[in-house]
Each structure stands twice: as structure tokens, then as C-alpha cells.
Chains A and B, each alone.
Chain A
Amino acid sequence: MSYTPGFAPDAQSQLGALDPSDQEVAIDELDRLAARPPSGDEYVGEVVTEGVGTRRYVFVHVTIDQVRSIVTLVGVGCVERPAGG
């Protein structure tokens, strides 16, 4: 059963500070988690994307309301590292 995905206002601001492509990755990951909700109350997901000579790491921290069927983003961030060091 899918849950409703959304953002805490503070996480919305964090998302807005990311590059648009990273924002899209984070929202996709949130949607993915809402489609297949993890068990428990909190979950941290990470997505790695490859760029030209770089690797980008997007992380999302969500809370899961198992009663109301809601997955809410409470933290999101991103860093870039050279691919293969």
C-alpha cells in the first residue's frame, strides 16, 4: 500500500538549496519510499548518481507515520566527490 509523500517545511527549504537535478533525485527517492514504505518510524535513504568525473550523494531522512500512511521528509542533503577518487 502506498503512503502519501510530503515535506516538513524546514526540509522543503533544505531541498530548495540543492541543485535542481539533486532536488529531482530527492523527490524521486521520497516517492519511491512512499510507494514501498519501510517499516519503523524513521528511515535514511541514499541515492548515488554519476556525473562527468564526479559522483553525487543525495541523502533523505524521512519519518513514517504508519497509522496515517504518510512519509515525510525531515532532512535532505547532498555532496559531490570525484569519481574513483
Chain B
Amino acid sequence: MTAVHLFDALATLDPSGLLHQENGTADGLAQLAEKLVAASLDEVRRIREYEQQFVFGAQRHPDADLAVRRSVWEMFAAWTDDAEQVLARAKSVARTGVPVSGADQLDDAIGRVRARLTVTPEQVLAAKEQVRQGQFVPAKEMRDELHARLRA
């Protein structure tokens, strides 16, 4: 059972979305949501570190390079699924009027990772091979083409 399931179990006990503790404070569920958000942000930070340390700049056989890149890409994909679950819980708490620290950052982190997941490791390696073969389109050419299309 993940911590998200714990959140769901506690939320079911108190559908108002707020846990009333013995001392009268009413932010137990918000505190749990904040911990989940912080843990999720830590995790994606760690995956980025793995990528930086073990993927970028490493010289490997192409098959091994692809396997390593794909493993990190899949870590990002799995993280995104989990993070969306956490964000949904954080938003459910926020809707009760109790802000959840870090929720905006998590939303932003999910967007950033989802953007990069639109390109697969296979696509990156194919493009890198083109670079290795000297295939290169100057950026100025691309910008000029874009502006010409926009003017047309």
C-alpha cells in the first residue's frame, strides 16, 4: 500500500477532507498531502540526478546506451503517473480551503516531465547519430523558415 492509499483511507474517514486531531487542529490531511508532495518532488529531483550522472556524457555501446536511457525515461513516466495521483489528493485538500505547500511546484514538475516524455530515447539516439554523421541544420535557417511561414 502506498502513502496515497493511506491518504485515501484517512480521507474516507473524514469526507470533509480535514482530520480533527486531539488538540483541535484540523490540518492532518493537509500535512500528509504536503509530505506526499515533498516526497514526490524529491523523487523527480533524484531521477534528474541519475540522468545527469549516469546518462549524459557516458560513452557506451549504442545498445547499452539505449537500455540506460530507456530505464531513466521509464522512471520519469512512472513518476509522472504517481505524481498525478499525489497532485489530485493535494488539490482535493486545497479545495477545502487548506493550502498544500508545494502543490504548484509539483504541478509544474509534472508539466516539465510530461513535455520531455513526448520524445523517446530512441528518437534522441537517432538524432544523435545524425549529429555524429555531420547532419546539421543551422538554427537561423529554421527561424527564417518559421517567420516566412508566419508571414505567408
With an 8 Å Cβ cutoff, the count of chain B residues facing the other chain is: 36
Question: A34, B128: Cβ atoms under 8 Å?
Answer: no
**B139 touching A59, Cβ below 8 Å:** no
A61 and B130 contacting across the interface, CB-CB below 8 Å: no
Q: Tell which of A34, A42, A59 touches B115, judged by Cβ atoms closer than 8 Å.
A: A59
Residues of A20-56 whose CB lies within 8 A of B: 20, 23-24, 27, 30-31, 34, 40-44, 46, 48, 55
Structural contact, A10 and B127, CB atoms closer than 8 A = yes
Report the number of A-B residue pairs with Cβ-Cβ less than 8 Å: 117
Q: Which residues of B contact A57 (CB under 8 A)?
A: 111-112, 114-115
The answer to whether B139 touches A5, judged by C-beta atoms less than 8 angstroms apart, is: yes
Question: B1 contacts the other chain (Cβ, under 8 Å)?
Answer: no
CA distance A10 to B143 in the complex (A): 16
**A43 to B139 Cα, complex, angstroms:** 17
Give the chain A neighbours of B137 by CB distance below 8 A: 6-9, 12
Interface SS, B side: helix
Query: Taking A9-B135, A42-B56, A70-B136 as contacts, is the C-beta distance between A78 and B146 under 8 angstroms?
Result: no
Min CB distance B148 to A, Å, is 11
> Of A9, A10, A58, A84, which one neighbours B104 at CB under 8 angstroms?
A84
The answer for the CA separation of A40 and B54 in the assembled complex, in Å, is 13
* B26 at the binding interface (Cβ < 8 Å): no
A8 nearest CB neighbor, chain B only: B127
A23-B141 Cα distance, complex, nearest whole Å: 13
CB of B115 within 8 A of CB of A78, answer yes
Are A12 and B146 in contact, CB atoms less than 8 angstroms apart? no
Total interface residues on A, using CB and 8 Å? Answer: 44
Asked whether B64 is an interface residue with its Cβ less than 8 Å from the other chain, the reply is no
Name A44's closest neighbour in chain B (CB-CB).
B116
Sort A-B residue pairs by CB-CB distance and give the 4 closest, nearest first. A77-B118, A74-B127, A8-B127, A5-B139
Would you list 21 pairs from A and B whose C-beta atoms are within 8 A, ordered by A residue? A5-B138, A6-B137, A7-B137, A9-B135, A9-B137, A14-B119, A15-B142, A24-B143, A34-B139, A40-B57, A41-B57, A42-B55, A43-B56, A44-B51, A55-B111, A63-B131, A75-B127, A77-B116, A77-B119, A85-B103, A85-B107
